[in-house]
Amino acid sequence: MLNISQNKLNQKVSLEGYTAFEKAFTSKHNKLFNRFLGLFAVIIGITVFLPWTQNVSGNGYVTTLKPDQRPQTIQSPIPGRIEKWYVREGDFVKKGDTILYISEIKNEYQDPQLVERIHQQRDAKNRSVVSYQEKIKALENQITALRNELKLKLSQTENKLKQVQYKVKSDSIDFMAAKTNLDIAQKQYDRTVILNTEGLKAMTEVETKRLKLQETQAKLISHENKLLASQNEVINARLEIRRISAEYADKIAKARSNRFTAESNQFEAEAQVSKLENKSANYKIRNALYYITAPQNGFINRAIKGGVGETFKEGEQLVGIMPSNYDLAVETYIHPIDLPLMHLGENVRIQFDGWPAIFFSGWPNASFGTYAGKIVAIETFISDNGKFRILIAPDSSENLWPENIRVGSGAYTIALLDDVPIWYELWRQLNGFPPNYYKPTDQKTTKNKE
């Protein structure tokens, strides 16, 4: 009953005979309650000064430490049709084991003797290359023969030119001698005519000298014609040298042109041989792709494409495989506000789904059922869920992670940060402040050394 009245009941009525009065106003209970309150206040006072480990929590799942150890799907680089399965879901396969066999669905690759026919085309082109090589050799020999023949022809014509030149000299000397004889005959005739006029010579001698003069003139004209003919022969010999040079230059140019044409055809044939060899290699590789094999040791998880006779496109997923050897890790996500608090090598406590645990976030040493880990990678770009991805590896200095954990299992992570008093943590939580920003000891030491 509230004591709001000025008239006190205990002063007007005696309460000592009632049981409630004895229980409520007995000094023994008051002392025990006061002691309890005092002890509780001391405990609270001591507790608020105890250390508390700040932390950043996140949800994630179990993955593998290396990308090549994670679950993967097997695709076919070519389109095809499923013909035969060699495995079942859950089977263990080794690297290179055949998983399934596919057949070709494209018309241009369905010839069973496609590789052999390409080899025949390649061999034919190789023989064509050899023929062009022989043709080039024959043209080279022809060019050499034409050059030798040109030298021989020029040598003959030059010899002829020298002979004609000597003949010109000889005819020139004969012509000069004929001119001298003509002068002599003219002078003798003139003297004979004068002497005949004076009566010293007979008319017959005049006629004889005239006849000799005419014969000398005829010889002069004959020698002059021979000289002109010899000079024409010199000109003709020089023209013949030029004609022979031009003729054989044209023949050699045609032979070289034919040689270049043969070389061009040879190069084209060699290019076609190279293309055919490339096709042959590609067809062999394509034939090997009909057998889908395991890329590494692992277990067949699920057949994405089932049945026989089902067709698929290139790059389409056919079967899923989980590697048998892997190093576990945990992939967790944190809010962007907590990203500056994360550092490589930071200690993290992990609670796996399916493993019971008792965890005190502020006192990790007093927790049970959690496992230790260290941050090995921090994503530098935000994920699609609006958080940053962090990869956590096992901490070898503490207990090993459970053997029965499977990739894809859920995990709850707690990154351990700075140690602060409990009263400070309560004050921070009430004000909504983030945990204390700090740098690990090894980073501070490295910075001081620098």
Angle between helices 114-198 and 203-288 (to 10 degrees): 170
Q: Going by DSSP bridges, is the β-strand pair 347-352/328-334 parallel, antiparallel, or unpaired?
A: unpaired
User: By three-state DSSP, how is residue 433 classified?
Assistant: coil
Q: Name the token pair of 380.
A: 């530098």
Cβ proximity of 320 and 75 under 8 Å: no
SS3 percent helix, strand, coil of the chain, rounded to 5, is: 50, 20, 25
User: Residues 292-329, buried b or exposed e (16+ Cβ, 10 A)?
Assistant: bbbeeebbbeebebeeeeeebeeeeebbbbbbeebebb
Q: Is the confidence at residue 79, as pLDDT, over 70?
A: yes
Q: Which residue has the higher pLDDT, 258 or 8?
A: 258
Question: CA dist 340 to 58, 122, 436, Å?
Answer: 15, 65, 10
Q: Which two tokens stand for residue 410?
A: 């859920």
Rounded Cα distance, 369 and 73, in Å: 34
CA distance 114 to 125: 17
**Positive or negative torsion for Cα 42, 48, 52, 58:** positive
- Contact between residue 99 and residue 74 where contact means Cβ atoms under 8 Å apart: yes
CA 303 to chain centre: 33
Q: Is the pLDDT of residue 241 over 90?
A: no
- Residue 350 confidence (pLDDT) above 70: yes
373 CB-contact burial (10 Å; exposed 0-12 / middle 13-18 / buried 19+): buried
What is the per-residue pLDDT for 447?
Answer: 39
Maximum CA extent, the chain: 225
Q: Which residues contact 445 (CB under 8 A, 6 or more apart)?
A: none
Please, which residues bridge with residue 416 across strands?
55
pTM: 0.58
| 304 close to 75: Cβ distance less than 8 angstroms | no
Least confident of 153-157, 375-379, 398-402: 398-402
Are 109 and 133 a contacting pair, CB within 8 Å? no
**420 contacts 52 by C-beta, under 8 angstroms:** yes
Query: What does the alpha-carbon distance between residue 117 and residue 114 come to, in Å, rounded to a whole number?
Result: 5
Res 14: pLDDT: 64
| Per-residue pLDDT at 141 | 92
* Residue 336 · residue 382 · CB < 8 Å: yes
What domains, with CATH codes, occur in the chain? Answer: 52-69+326-444 (2.40.30.170), 82-100+290-323 (2.40.50.100), 114-288 (1.10.287.2610)
> 449 pLDDT exceeds 50?
no
Q: Over the stretch 185-232, which tens digit does the pLDDT of each residue have?
A: 888 878 877 877 877 777 787 788 788 878 888 888 888 888 888 888
